[in-house]
Structure 1
Amino acid sequence: MSGQVLVLARAGDEAAEHVAGLLTRRGADPVLLDPARRGRTPADRARRCTGTALSARFDAAGALRRRLVLDGRVVDLDALRALWITRLPLPAPPGRAIVQGGSAAVTALYRAQEEAAFCADLWDGLDAPVVPGPPSALARAAGRTVQLREAVRVGFEVPDTLLTNDPDAVLDLYCAHEGDLVTKAPEQLGARVDGAGFWRPTRALSTRDVRSAPDLLQCPLIVQRRLEKALELRVTVVGERAFAVAVHSQRSNHARLDSRFSDPARTPHRPHELPEGTAARCVALTRRLGLSYAALDLVLTPEGRCVFLELNPDGQYRWLERVTGLPISEALCELLLRGAVTAGAAVTAGAAAPAGRGARA
Structure 2
Amino acid sequence: MESPILVIAARDDWPTDRVVKILTERGARVFRMDTADFPQSLEMAVRIDQAATWRGELSTRSRTVDPADVAAVYYRAPGAFVFPEGMNGPERRFAGAQARAGLGGILTAMDRCRWVSHPAAMARAEYKPVQLAVAREVGLRIAPTLITNRPDAVREFAAEVGGPIVSKPIASPVFIEGDQLKTVYSRRLSEEDLADLTGIDTTAHLFQAWADKAHEIRLTVAGDQMFAAEVHAGSEAAYEDWRTDYASLTYKATDTPPDVATGVRRLLDRLQLRFAALDFVVSPAGQWTFLEANPCGQWDWIAHATGQPIAEAIADELQGAAA
TM-score normalised per structure 2: 0.89
Structure 2 unpaired stretches of 5+: none
Aligned equivalent of 1:34: 34
Aligned equivalent of 1:307: 289
Structure 1 unpaired stretches of 5+: 41-50, 93-102, 342-361
Quickly say closer, same or farther: Cα 1:63–1:8, change in 2 above 3 A: closer
The answer to whether 1:320 aligns with 2:302 is yes
> What is the CA RMSD across the aligned residues, in angstroms?
2.6
By how many angstroms is 1:194 displaced? 8.7
Aligned equivalent of 2:3: 3
Rounded Cα–Cα distance in structure 1 between residues aligned with 2:244 and 2:73: 32
Quickly say closer, same or farther: Cα 1:180–1:255, change in 2 above 3 A: same
Amino acid at match of 1:105: G
The answer to whether 1:255 aligns with 2:245 is no
Aligned equivalent of 1:297: 279
The answer to whether 1:200 aligns with 2:184 is yes
Rounded Cα–Cα distance in structure 2 between residues aligned with 1:195 and 1:29: 40
By how many angstroms is 1:140 displaced? 1.0
By how many angstroms is 1:227 displaced? 0.8
Higher strand share: 2
Q: Give the alignment partner of residue 100 of structure 2, picking from 98, 112, 116.
A: 116
After the TM superposition, which residues 266-305 of structure 1 pair with which residues of structure 2 at under 5 Å, given as runs?
Answer: 266-305=248-287
Q: Deviations over 1:179-234 (max 9, x none)?
A: 61111111107447897523311112234443443513422111111110111000
Aligned equivalent of 1:331: 313
The answer to whether 1:140 aligns with 2:130 is no
Aligned equivalent of 1:70: 60
By how many angstroms is 1:322 displaced? 0.6
Which shifted more, 215-224 or 143-152? 215-224
Which shifted more, 195-204 or 230-239? 195-204
Amino acid at match of 2:250: P
Q: Deviations over 1:101-129 (max 9, x none)?
A: xx922332343344334444332210343
Q: Any conservation in 1 of the 2:143–2:209 contact (CA below 8 Å)?
A: yes
Aligned length: 319
Aligned equivalent of 2:69: 79
TM-score normalised per structure 1: 0.80
After the TM superposition, which residues 12-31 of structure 1 pair with which residues of structure 2 at under 5 Å, given as runs?
Answer: 12-31=12-31
Quickly say closer, same or farther: Cα 1:150–1:55, change in 2 above 3 A: farther
After the TM superposition, which residues 96-111 of structure 1 pair with which residues of structure 2 at under 5 Å, given as runs?
Answer: 104-111=88-95
After the TM superposition, which residues 51-66 of structure 1 pair with which residues of structure 2 at under 5 Å, given as runs?
Answer: 51-59=41-49, 61=51, 63-66=53-56
Q: Any conservation in 1 of the 2:131–2:292 contact (CA below 8 Å)?
A: yes
Q: Give the alignment partner of residue 164 of structure 1, picking from 148, 169, 181.
A: 148
Amino acid at match of 1:257: E
Q: Any conservation in 1 of the 2:53–2:68 contact (CA below 8 Å)?
A: no
